[in-house]
Every structure is written in structure tokens, then in C-alpha cells.
Structure 1
């Protein structure tokens, strides 16, 4: 049903009758009432017209030369393209009650017998149109609300500002059946711009510089404001913001798609949903930045400068988590030796970060007192078991490097073992031990040679673990990815790029190399 008929007023009516006189009379009555009439003399002509043109009602004679009007009605109602068109059947031959029953059961919306009063004919036509207009309008609104729900879901599911702009543009194009543009400002001040074409019109994308200049001058109030024109295109735009100092978002559509209060309300709802989703992303970005700043403040600001033992470290927070975690590393200088630690307190929370800071400070205290690596682990284990019996499970690996002797004593507590890389390849040191916080016996440190030119990689499990993949497989991927000849900074960056993307856990990584 076309929009005019949906809203009331004159309709397009197909009159099907093989008798010219009957067809002329019915058509004349309809035309005098303001309707547009198309005439057909056979069922074949009628079905062809219905395939190629749009009609709001069919006035159909039951007795046609090539097909029964009953069969034509069934064909109309069986086709999804025409099933909603009301059919008023008219007959001077089939006038018995059972004929009317047959017509109505086979899909007719009304059944009249001739001779028929013009008032009765027009009243039945108007009644059929009124019912189907109301039904079509209800279906149209329901479909729009369904598309609005789908668009809102996609908007709220967007994880980045670029994805949010794209979801908003696609949603507006779908809901309002119009070419749409969405623009918003990311926390870094960059304008994210997306367009969507509803009719494959391929309209040119607005100049992002012009949009950026316009948005920088905007200062609408909190809420949603609809403007009828913007300097960069002929559009109707909805501006929405959630806080006075927050940059507004903009959704713009072709003005011909916003012709009613309902259209305008849909545009406002889309803009409001986008602004709320943008606020959520802004809050997440702010919390993530704060968490990352706090996490980094708990890690060493710099690494000791030892010409004979250069080293580099990296810390990368989980990509989808705004909370702080318990991953850490530390390097402690001890009278000609170097104690290097890497560890991970289980969980992502303020509690995990607090325990991590406590473990790190305790580790430093015991190291300064001169305890052996295995003894340090025993004492940290006792502390965690006593003061954090439910949330203090921690893995840690300690390396006590003696450059003069060319050795490293390795004590491991449930952590990924050190990866040793030299001209013979890469291999994991065979050092094991239970994690901390469970009170189990643990072995003494294993003393390993550290020849000149040897590189040692320490990492938390965030680098090797991936959902659905065995830990051993992840460790083997890491082993295969390292190279003895790589510059350590380049190696660290490459490993994070190849193995650290999209991880659900933090990653701490430390590389050291005894100078050749």
C-alpha cells in the first residue's frame, strides 16, 4: 500500500470486469469519489497489472472469461507482494449465499451482488480501504520499531568510536529509509565520520574537515536538538549531548525522509541512543586511562643501566578490560648481582593490584636482606597464605643473575618458565614449582649458565594464553616466534604485535641479554 493510501484519501483501484457497461459504471462512481481507476477486462490483464503497478484495492467481477474471480482472489492473497491489497468481489451471476461464503472464504474482503447501489459500493470500498490502511500503518510502524530496536542494539554494541559512528549511520539509513551521515568526536579530539546509503545512491561523503569545523562551533544544550540545515549538506540533523562539556554527536538524513512527527521522533531516539553509547565509550576510555596510569605507577619507572646486561620491558593491559590487573616485573641491583622478577596476581581488580604492590615491595625487602631466590618465594608464599588466603594466588619467576660467574639461579612458582635464546635456538628452562599462596613445599633454585650473547625472555601468561588453545601450544608459538639475532626492542614489539593482540589478560614482558 502506498503512503498516500496509508494515510487516507484517494486510492488507486483496479477494476476488473469483462462487461464494458458494468466496468464503466463502477469506474465512474469511483472516479467521482476521487479515486484513480485502472481497468482490466480479463484475469490475465489484472494479474499483469498487479505485478507491474501499485494498487490499494481491487474491485473484481466473479465471472471472467479466462479465470474465476475466486481463483484470481486466491492468487492475489497468496502472493506476498499483493497479499495485503483488499479485494471487493462483485457479481450479477453468483448471488446465492453460498457464493458469497465461497468468495469470502477464498480471500475476498467484501462481496456485493448486482445490481448494487452506488452508495453501498462506495461504502464497502471505503470500509475495506480503512481497515487495510490501519493494518498497513500498524505494520509499517511495527517494522520501523523493529528496525529501531535493531539499530539501537548495534549502536550499544559498538566497542569503538569509529564502529559507533558506522552503526549510527547504518541504523538511521535503515530506520528512516534515507541516506544518512553520523559524526562524533573521540576522546582524542578526532571526528569519526560514517555514511550509509539507503537506496544505493552513492552520494558523496561529506568533507571531514568541513564537518569537523562545524562541530567544533556547536554548543547545543544537553539533550537532543533537531536542526533543519547544516553548512556541509542539505540535510535534517539531530544533535545530542549528555553533558555540557561533552562534544555532541550528529546524525543527519535527507530532509525528505523526515516529514512527520513520527519521523522526527525516530531521528531523535537514534541520536539519543548514540549519545548515550558515546558517553559509555568516553567513560570506559577515561576509566581505562586511569587504570593504566595507576597500573604503570606500580611498575618500575626505569630499568637499571648495566652495560653488560642490557634489558627492555613492556606492559600491555588487556584490550577489553578497564580494570587494573596483577601483572608485574621488577629488577633489583644487589652488590654485583641482579635479581629479576616477573609475576602475576590472579584476577583483574583493585584487590589484585593492591596485592601485586604488596608482593613487589615484600620481594624487594627480602631481596635486600640477602635471601636466596627460593627462600624469597617461600616467605612471599607464607605472607600470601596468611594475609590473603582467598585472593592472593600468585605466579612468579625469579632470576638471580651473576655476571662475574656467568650464571643465573632460577626459582619458579607456577609461572611460564624463562625462554633462553642463543645461537642454538630457543628453549624453555626446565624449572618448576607450585604457585604462591598455597603453602606447598618448593624446590631450591636451579643454577643455569648464562654465556655471553644469550638472551632470556620472561613473560606473563597473557602472551601465551588464548581462549580455546592449550597453554603448551601457546608456549610453542612464542618459542617459534623468537630470533637470536633480533634487536631486543624490535623483538618485544614484534612479539606483542604477533601474539598479544586482542588478549583478555594483561601482558608483562621482560628481555635481557648478556653482552657478547
Structure 2
């Protein structure tokens, strides 16, 4: 029987490390293993053997127990203690330590087998073959488990994506981690442009862009409902879609890295997960668009214009929320004065937005009746307690007279307004008042005279509140950062840039400057 036939019956050959200080013993053992198709490397000492086990892709070690620099027991223990080499099978061979206690010690210190010299060639080869078979089965199982865990993690990341770029990146990174090499993902939403992402062998994103070469379009005819694998000489591509008229998704990896059937199965599952993720993302973006449209429809479409009272406002929805929230602002002109309000209805839901809309409309109606801010706050409190007992609302409401440069203000548990004086001083106007929706006595409105050129900044807590810090510290940091030299638009944009990134709460901002007659020009 030829060496190739023997190797085929015994399983695929491996790289065997033979560690023995006897040249003749190494020669005999190595020749037996090479005849069975194995590749053999040799070491004379324990230290040299350890170095080769750590630096070469060794599949098994045949290890003499007596070595000149350390015992084979110690070498075996170090191999098994190192996570990089712990799975490598070790077969002890000894002509001197042959007692049952010696063999028990070798096995208890990590060896997978213990042979006593003289060793029959057939026994040595059979022992090596059995150890390799177990080692490879274990390595295959561990590799499959790792890939399955990677697929699960990738699927979770795909389903959590909030943009097509995030989804493409998750698909490419997941595929790269799955096969241990570079990967490319081509993704498009039903109503969007294609997006391509690439990732390297570590799963790190290397680029995200569109599909200028039309690669996704070229794959469309081959895509079907479900997933299909297209294996080429250099590249293997899985294409998938959930419905006949949906654009396909595609994930491409080097064919050389997908030799096992398990790789194909995992790539097919990944393709299906990406296709389902596209559907989920499309639904998420559509729902978010409707929610934001509804939210903005409940805010003022434009702010009143007055030469003595320039103003600007900003509204930014929570970064990762499709639910609409209760943050709002309102400006209503009544008889030359302006009722300016900012507030926050607790919760993120259609219910919170509905309450917010009612509060805004009621506020405008009460303002048109000529009530002062404190009286309006009282009536809003009564409205909420009667019709929305489960809703709590914070609000700052002021009546600004630009000609007289005065401001009458009432507060219902909201963040105080920040007054930025033209000389550079900035202070919060702390006005006490209980949150709306609870029965407590409320103080009358406070009237404040404003210096010409004073800017008033109103905000909701989403701008500055962070779960891991005291809000008072953030308020002080913001106060120290403002300057009267900033325009209203520049001020709001900077605050959103510095404080409002990646927040899980909505943000409303409103700022105005009281100019006065002498600064009108």
C-alpha cells in the first residue's frame, strides 16, 4: 500500500513536532511518521520544542520525557498552560520512566497519551492518528461554535442598525469575522441608493460608500426570495431578498476562505439575516419619518418677527428613538407682547405628543384672553389634573414686552432660563414653581427688567442632562461657555454641537435678544 493510501485511511496528514535529545530516536520516529504522509519538524531540547510549538502551526507533539534542559512533564505542562497551544495533543514517549506511576504522572500533567519504548510503529502511528482525530474534531467544533456566536452577534447588530450605512457595516464586519478574511456588503433600501461597506479580516470597517460600479444591480437577476450562494473561482457571494420586488442584498468573501460546507450554511444564514434587517430598517425609517412629521406639525411652523425681539429655535429628536416625545416651544404675539414658552411632557409616545399638543393650544387660548403667565400656568395645571392625571409637564412661560424691555415669568419645575448680559455676565433666572399636574400653591409671576442687548436662552433637559453626572454641573458648564458676541443661530448650533450629540432624549432650544429702541439700527 502506498504512503498516500495509508495517509488517506488514517485521515489528513498533520505537522508533527518530535522533541527528543537522541538523534537516532528522532530519526526513527520521524521516518515512521513521514511514511504516513505527515510533515515532521524536530527539536533536541525542551526549550526549542516550546518555541517551535508556539511559532509553528503544530498539530501534535511527540515528546520524550527525559530531556537535557527540562523534563518532558514540564514541557507538556507549559504547552497546556498557554492558551495559544493548549489544544495541541502531546504524546509522551519514554524508555526509562515506564512504571505505572510515571505514566500516571505524565497523563495527569497534561499528556494525551503515554507510550513506552520500544514502541511498535503501528502503535505509534495509531496513537498519533487517534489524537489528531480528536484534536481536529474538537478544533472544528470550537471553530463552528465561534462562528455561530459571531453570526448571532452580527444578526443582533444588523437588527439594531438605524441607518443603511450601519447595516452595511454590520454585514461586512460580520462576514469578515465569520470567514476570517476581507468581506464586502452591498445593501440598498427599497426606496434608497445602494450602499457598499468593506471590512478587513478583523471585522473592522475599512470603507463605506455608494455603489458606483453598479455591482448590486448586476447581481439582481440572480437573486431570488430567500438566499442563494454564488461561488466563483475567486469570490463567493450570497445574495438574498425577502420579497420578489425588493432589491437584493449581497455579501461577498474570498472563495478560498469558504471551503467547508459549514461556511456556506453560515453565509446563507447571514444573507437571510441581512435581508430581514433591510426590511426592519425600512419599516423603522418609515415609522420614524411619520413620527417626526407628526412631532414637527405640533411645533410652530415659524416664529414671529419683531425688529426689537429677534429670536431663533431648534428642535432635535432623540437619536435612537422612533417614538415622538413631549418637548415643545411656543411663541404667541398678543397686543405687542410675546408669550414665550418652553416645556416637556413626560414620556416618549403618541400619548405624550398628544398632551403636548393640547398644552400648546390651551396656552395660546389662555394668552389670547389676556391672562398673565402665572394665571396661565394655573389653568394649564387644572387642565392636566382633570383630563391627563397620569401626565406631568414642566414649563417656563414668560410674557416679554420688547418696547418696555420687561419680562414677566412663571416656572413650573422647568430648567431656568439663562440670561446673557451684553457685558458678558451670564446667570440663570431661578424662579420657583411646582411641576404641572400636581396640586401645590404657585407663586405669582416675577417681573424682570432687561438691559438692552440681553439674550435669553430657554432649553429642555435633553440638551444637558446625562445619567452619569449631576445636572447642576452641566448647567454651570453651559453657563460658563456662553458669550454675548455669538449670534442667536451660532449660539444654538454650538450648544447642540457641544452638548446635544447622541442623546436619548429630545432637545428643544429657544433664544431671543431684547434690543431696545436705541439699538434697533
Report how far residue 293 of structure 1 moved. Answer: 0.6
Mapped contact 1:328–1:356 kept (Cα < 8 A): yes
Comparing 298-307 with 277-286, which one deviates more in the overlay? Answer: 277-286
- Look up the match of 2:273: 273
Measured against aligned partners, the alpha-carbon deviations of 1:245-279 in whole angstroms (never above 9, x if no partner) come to: 55443322111001121111222233333444444
Question: What does 1:103-502 correspond to in 2, within 5 Å?
Answer: 103-113=106-116, 118-156=121-159, 158=161, 160-185=163-188, 189-198=192-201, 208-211=210-213, 213-219=214-220, 220-229=223-232, 234-244=234-244, 246-391=246-391, 393-424=392-423, 425-450=425-450, 452-502=452-502
Supply the distance in 1 between the matched residues of 2:402 and 2:68 (Cα, whole angstroms).
Answer: 107
CA distance in 2, matches of 1:101, 1:368: 96
1: CA distance between counterparts of 2:35 and 2:63?
A: 19
Residue in structure 1 matched with residue 4 of structure 2 by the alignment: none
CA 1:262–1:405: 2 relative to 1, 3 Å: same
CA contact (8 A) 2:311 2:488 kept: yes
CA distance change for structure 1 residues 405 and 48 in 2, over 3 Å: closer, same or farther? closer
C-alpha deviation, 1:71, in angstroms? 5.8
CA distance in 2, matches of 1:104, 1:359: 78
Structure 1: unaligned runs, 5 residues or longer: none
Within a 5 Å distance, the mapping from 1:47-58 to structure 2 comes to 50=53, 53-58=56-61
Single out whichever of 217-226 and 111-120 deviates more from structure 2.
111-120
* Secondary structure of the corresponding residue to residue 365 of structure 1: helix
> Partners of 1:47 and 1:415 in 2: how far apart?
68
**Does structure 2 conserve the Cα–Cα contact (< 8 Å) formed by 1:8 and 1:133?**
no
Give how far 1:477 is off.
3.3
Structure 1 pair 109–163 and aligned structure 2 pair: CA distance change class (3 A)? same
Equivalent position SS for 2:483: coil
**CA positional deviation for 1:355:** 1.0
> Does the Cα contact within 8 Å between 1:417 and 1:432 map onto a contact in 2?
no
In structure 2, how many angstroms separate the alpha carbons of the residues matched to 1:406 and 1:171?
61
Taking a change above 3 Å as real, the CA distance of residues 190 and 91 of structure 1, as seen in their structure-2 partners, is same
The 2-side partners of 1:398 and 1:188 are apart by 43
**d(CA) in 2 for partners of 1:277, 1:470:** 38
CA distance in 2, matches of 1:406, 1:66: 93
Task: Please tell me the root mean square deviation across aligned C-alpha atoms, in Å.
Answer: 3.8
More off after superposition, 410-419 vs 52-61: 52-61
2: distance between equivalents of 1:337 and 1:48? 85
Instruction: Please report how far the alpha carbon of residue 290 of structure 1 lies from its aligned counterpart in structure 2 after TM superposition.
Output: 1.4
- Report the secondary structure of 1:262's partner residue: helix
Deviations 1:143-186 (A, max 9, x none): 33344444445545555443443343333222211122233336
**Kept after mapping to 1: 8 A contact 2:169/2:205:** no
* Alignment check: 8 A CA contact 2:196 2:211 kept: no
**Deviation for aligned residue 1:207:** 8.1
Which has the larger displacement, 492-501 or 259-268?
492-501
For structure 2, which runs of at least 5 residues remain unmatched after alignment? 1-6
For residue 447 of structure 1, give the secondary structure of its aligned residue in structure 2: strand
Deviation at 1:287, TM superposition (A): 2.3
Residues 219 and 239 of structure 2 are in contact (CA less than 8 Å); yes or no, is this contact kept in structure 1? no
TM-score (normalizing by structure 1): 0.83
**Once the two structures are superposed, what CA deviation does each residue of 1:448-479 show, in whole Å capped at 9, x if it has no partner?**
33454443333223234333333333333343
The answer (yes or no) to whether the contact 2:195–2:211 under 8 Å persists in 1 is: no
Tell me the TM-score normalized by structure 2.
0.82
Please list the CA deviations of residues 45-70 of structure 1 after superposition, one character each: whole Å capped at 9, or x if unmatched. 76665456444444556677777665
1:418 and 1:88 map into 2 onto residues whose CA distance is 78
CA offset digits 1:184-210 (Å, max 9, x no partner): 33688354433332289x999798544
